Amino acid sequence: MSWTGYDPHRQALVNTGFFGAQGSGCLLLARASGRVMLVLRSPSVQEPGTWGNLCGAHFEFESPEDGALHQLKDETRYSGPIELIPSLVFRSGSFVYRNFLGIIDDEFTPRLGWEATHFRWVTPGRWPQPLHFGIEALLADEASREQLFSYSNAFKRKLAVGEV
């Protein structure tokens, strides 16, 4: 698809207020530390200057998982092993966004593209501000919050007793 012609993602922005008819992304969680990666959104994207996950619109021919992995690779250049665990599904009108908890072995230094200016590995509960509304929604969802903290705490316990 040529970006100079019809762009369904931009048309969806006009129709729904969201870039793309559907999106997905992952909140990375490192087994070795129990910490998650957040990125600071650049001035070139919607909700600039907020801390969010690695995410974006995807085409209808991509599965939500493939879309999340595509965004992860595009935004960080990460291509190592990952386990995607479904989390909150956000809906607003016809727009659908699927969150995943992306579990990886170790923290890494991403090679950020134009969509983010900075990154941080943070302990869940010690969130930088301001958070993107998508992360706020994820944390407000009891099941998603419990999932994140449960995995993070389990990894930190293993680290404390030397099982990692």
pLDDT tens for each residue of 39-78: 999 999 889 999 999 988 877 788 999 999 999 999 999 9
Q: Dihedral sign, CA of 124, 125, 128, 134?
A: positive
Instruction: Determine, yes or no, domain membership for 9.
Output: no
Instruction: Determine, yes or no, domain membership for 89.
Output: yes
Nearest 5°: the CA angle 139, 141, 147 is: 75
Instruction: Determine, yes or no, domain membership for 7.
Output: no
Instruction: Determine, yes or no, domain membership for 71.
Output: yes
Please state the pTM of the whole predicted model. 0.85
- Return the CATH number at 104: 3.90.79.10
Q: What is the pLDDT of residue 57?
A: 82
Q: What residues of the chain score a pLDDT lower than 50?
A: 1-3
